[in-house]
Amino acid sequence: MSSNPQAPVSHFIRNIIEADLASGKHRGIVTRFPPEPNGYLHIGHAKSICLNFGLALEYGGKCNLRFDDTNPEKESEEYARSIQEDVRWLGFQWDGTVRWASDYFDALYGFAVKLIERGLAYVDDLTPEQMREYRGTLTEPGKNSPNRDRPVAENLDLFARMKGGEFPDGSMVLRAKIDMASPNINLRDPALYRIRRAHHIRTGDSWCIYPMYDYTHCISDALENITHSLCTLEFEDHRPLYDWVLDHLDMPCHPQQIEFSRLELHYTITSKRKLLQLVTENRVSGWDDPRMPTISGMRRRGYTPEGIREFARRIGISKSANVVDMAVLEACVREDLEARAPRVMAIVNPLKVSITNADGAQSREAGFHPNHPEFGSRVVPFSQQLLIEADDFAEVPPPGWQRLTLGGEIRLRYSYVMRCDEVVKDASGKVIELKCSIDHATLGKNPEGRKVKGVIHFLSCEHALPAEIRLYDRLFNAPEPDGDRDVDFSTHLNPHSLDVVSGWVEAAVRDAAPETRYQFERLGYFCTDRRDHRPGEKLVFNRTVTLKDSWAKEQP
């Protein structure tokens, strides 16, 4: 791993591109990012976005955004809008206008007619059951459909009538005529078109036949003069079909399909179907729930585009399995926030402290970041009534305890050394208040004649603002929640993936806009919620990530 966070990491796709440019095969590169608008983008898509757009930027090329809108029942404008927003938020911009596979529907139909005229495609009316029977298995060849040798004129007539809406849904398909005995099942006369009466988000009801992905994708790439068509490894066995279609249509441009391993991230899932299930079953609040691995969810949680791009850079590109622990992503985000997030104090589990000798106590100015004086400073107020974290006090301290205990001293962050003199409990024996005293000579100075090791944060009750603090954690408590087909992945949902508490924050964050990031000292990184936070009225903070990897110690 390079020590330079911006340094490109060498990989086999970059090597191919550099060889193509050096040999003169291409004068420039054109890539594309081709999502289907049937859900929100997730962290796996972020890897692909960074690869396709990043390579285009690096080599002075272009990258298209093209929606694969060939499956109308599952697609929506909402998804298309969110995808465009996610790409921009990650820091990329596509070349020209947004492209759609539906832009090419007329051309795709024309190319299908050309294949029929060349005797390379035919209309088949086998039932789905018969189709499966004729297809064969991984170890046994398929057999030709009885309709495979229909005359060209009859195929042209039937295909036109399919387009005209004469036949019921699913009753016929247009198939490529390749090789039913091929060891590659994708070449066993694959379907090119199917009948499906579904309202399309762009073409409405003007089409009742829709092209299949494998047929559409390669032609769309060629029409857009894509040089390197990058996709994940599950499409490796589809590459011969990609090339067959283009070879038999005499396309002036023949892109090179190159496959790389998809991202598998521990403690999460990236199946759109399963993510949709979480949404529809109300296991999460929506596609942009901060626990979701969607780009919009990570954005709402407070992840930075820079952190996600660095994650994509670190994990690299290869053909081998790309299984990555969630800790790698969290570390990239944490490192980015360390440098850019102002530091303030907040209390999530308050314990009241009364200062018995507060007369004459002073507030003190403190910077927002120790390494960035340009971030400015604010006054950290001090008063007679304070709030500290309940976890920072122990009546019976464990070994090595360096926080507050009865009779012990600690340093209040940016303020005085404080000693606990008395513990107040309620009827049940719960500690509800501490009575403490401060050493007035220690404001900005070390005490004389003794060492005080512990430092804790605090808030002045008089000045603190109430806030809803959402403590997000990993959505699943198992590294591979969908690893066992016999176990419902939802059984691995982490019951503590979200704990909402009523906390307190410094007045300095009162007017913070939505999506403002902070480090809450000693607690973690937090971000004002982009949906529910209202500056000066309702303060809502989402925990982005803890200061340290809290899961590492739990691993075997």
pLDDT tens sequence across 379-418: 999 999 999 999 999 999 999 999 999 999 999 999 999 9
pLDDT, average across residues 79-101: 98
pLDDT at 160 > cutoff 60: yes
Burial call 432-465: b when 16+ CB within 10 Å, e when fewer: eebebbbbeebbeeeeeeeebeebbbbbbbebbb
Residues 6+ apart with CB under 8 A from 346: 457, 459, 467, 469, 503, 504, 505, 506, 520, 521, 523, 526, 541
Burial class (CB in 10 A: 0-12, 13-18, 19+), 337: buried
Contact between 441 and 448 under an 8 Å Cβ cutoff? The reply is yes
Tokens in use for 529?
């919620």
Domain 105-214, what fold? Glutamyl-tRNA Synthetase; domain 3 (3.90.800)
36: annotated active-site residue: yes
- Check residue 512 and report its DSSP letter: P
* 3 vs 523, higher pLDDT: 523
- pLDDT score, position 363: 96
pLDDT of residue 9: 79
Reported as a single tens digit per residue, the pLDDT across 406-461 is 999 999 999 999 999 999 999 999 999 999 999 999 998 999 889 998 999 999 99
Q: Is 3 helix (H, G, I), strand (E, B) or coil?
A: coil
Q: What is the mean pLDDT of residues 539-552?
A: 90
Task: Give catalytic status of residue 272 as yes or no.
Answer: yes
- The mean per-residue pLDDT over the stretch 285-310 comes to 98
User: What pLDDT, in 10s, does the model give residues 182-216?
Assistant: 999 999 999 999 999 999 999 999 999 999 999 99
| Residue 166 DSSP symbol | -
Neighbours of 21 (CB within 10 A): 17
Strands 385-389 and 459-460: antiparallel
Q: How sure is the predictor about 552, in pLDDT bands with cuts at 50, 70 and 90?
A: low
Confidence tier at 322 by pLDDT (50, 70, 90): confident
DSSP per residue, 475-496: SBSSSSTTS-TTS-GGGGB-TT
DSSP type of residue 426: -
Catalytic residue from among 66, 99, 135, 272 = 272
Q: Residue 17 has what pLDDT?
A: 98
Per the structure block, which two tokens stand in for 155?
Answer: 């195929």
Which amino acid is located at 541 in the chain?
F
% pLDDT > 90, the chain: 94
Q: Which residues contact 79 (CB under 8 A, 6 or more apart)?
A: 37, 38, 39, 40
Sign of CA dihedral 211, 212, 213, 216: negative
- Bridge-based pairing state of the strands 62-67 and 30-33: parallel
Task: Report the alpha-carbon distance of residue 159 to residue 491 in Å, rounded.
Answer: 48
Would you state the pLDDT for residue 4?
42
The band of 164, judged by pLDDT with boundaries at 50, 70 and 90, is: very high
DSSP 8-state class, residue 120: S
How far from the centroid of its chain's Cα atoms is residue 76's Cα? 20
Give the confidence band of 551 by pLDDT, cuts at 50, 70, 90.
Answer: confident
Token pair for 431: 């500690």
pLDDT at 555: 43
Query: Could you give the maximum distance between any two Cα atoms of the chain, in Å?
Result: 103
Answer yes or no: 262 catalytic.
Answer: yes
User: HSE (CB half, 13 Å, CA atoms) of 183?
Assistant: 0
Do 347 and 501 form a contact (C-beta atoms < 8 A)? Answer: no
Residues 6+ apart with CB under 8 A from 158: 123, 150, 172
Q: What is the pTM of this model?
A: 0.94
Q: Determine if residue 25 is left, alpha or beta; phi over 0 gives left, psi from -120 to 50 gives alpha, anything else beta.
A: alpha
Average pLDDT of span 125-135: 95
The type of residue at 256 is: Q
Q: How confident is the model at residue 556 (pLDDT cuts 50, 70, 90)?
A: very low
Q: Distance between CA atoms of 311 and 332, rounded to whole angstroms?
A: 6
**Eight-state DSSP code of residue 212:** -
Check pLDDT > 70 for residue 6.
no
Task: Indicate the CATH number for domain 344-460.
Answer: 2.40.240.10
Instruction: Give the DSSP letter string of 385-417.
Output: EEEEEGGGB-SSPPTT--SB-BT-EEEETTS-E
Torsion of CA 83, 86, 88, 92, to 10 degrees: -90
At the fourth CATH level, the homologous superfamily of domain 266-340+465-556 is: Ribosomal Protein L25; Chain P (2.40.240.10)
Span 330-367, pLDDT tens digits: 999 999 999 999 999 999 999 999 999 999 999 999 99
Residue 321 CB neighbour total at 10 angstroms: 10
Least-confidence region, from 28-32, 118-122, 547-551 = 547-551
pLDDT digits (tens, 9 = 90+) for 143-157: 999 999 999 999 999
DSSP 18-71: HHHHHHTS-SS-EEEE---SSS--BHHHHHHHHHHHHHHHHTT-EEEEEE----
pLDDT, residue 78, reads 97
Q: Which residues contact 232 (CB under 8 A, 6 or more apart)?
A: 48, 259, 260, 261, 262
pLDDT of residue 1: 32
Q: What is d(CA 46, CA 90) in angstroms, rounded to the nearest whole number?
A: 8
As annotated, the residues of the chain forming the CATH 2.40.240.10 domain(s) are: 266-340+465-556, 344-460
Catalytic pick from 36, 306, 330, 409? 36
CB proximity list for 479: less than 8 A, separation 6 or greater: 266, 267, 325
- What is residue 7's predicted lDDT score, i.e. its pLDDT? 64
User: What is each CA distance from 505 to 178, 388, 439, in whole angstroms?
Assistant: 67, 11, 25
Annotated catalytic residue within 14, 74, 202, 262: 262
29 pLDDT above the threshold of 70: yes
43-58 helix and 77-89 helix, angle to the nearest 10 degrees: 50
pLDDT of residue 252: 85
Structure tokens at 163: 């387009």
Q: Which amino acid is at 410?
A: I
CA-to-CA distance for 171 and 431, rounded, in angstroms?
Answer: 74
Q: 3-state SS string over 312-358?
A: HHHHCCCCCCEEECHHHHHHHHHHHHHHHCCEECEECCEEEEEECCC
For the chain, the average pLDDT equals 95
